[in-house]
Amino acid sequence: MNNDKPPRVSVIILNYNGKLLIEECIKALLAQTYNDYELIVVDNGSTDDSPDYIRKTFPDRLNIIELK
């Protein structure tokens, strides 16, 4: 397979009660120069309101999958 376009990349962040750390992590990923990627946060049943915080802070920038 010979394409000039680099492959799309999925960046998956696992989160559990990481509300205090997740913003810095996501901002660093969004600041990179590689453009063809999707950002997915998988929340493993956090009790610190992480998923809502992520949705409010980064609307339309990533996908969130919430596990109970």
The confidence band for 15, taking pLDDT boundaries of 50, 70 and 90, is very high
Please give the model's pTM, rounded to 2 decimal places: 0.85
**Buried-exposed string 35-62: b where 16+ CB fall within 10 A, e elsewhere:** eeeebebebeebeeebbebbeeebeeeb
State yes or no: pLDDT of 2 exceeds 60: no
Per residue in 20-47, pLDDT (tens digit) is 999 999 999 999 999 899 999 999 999 9
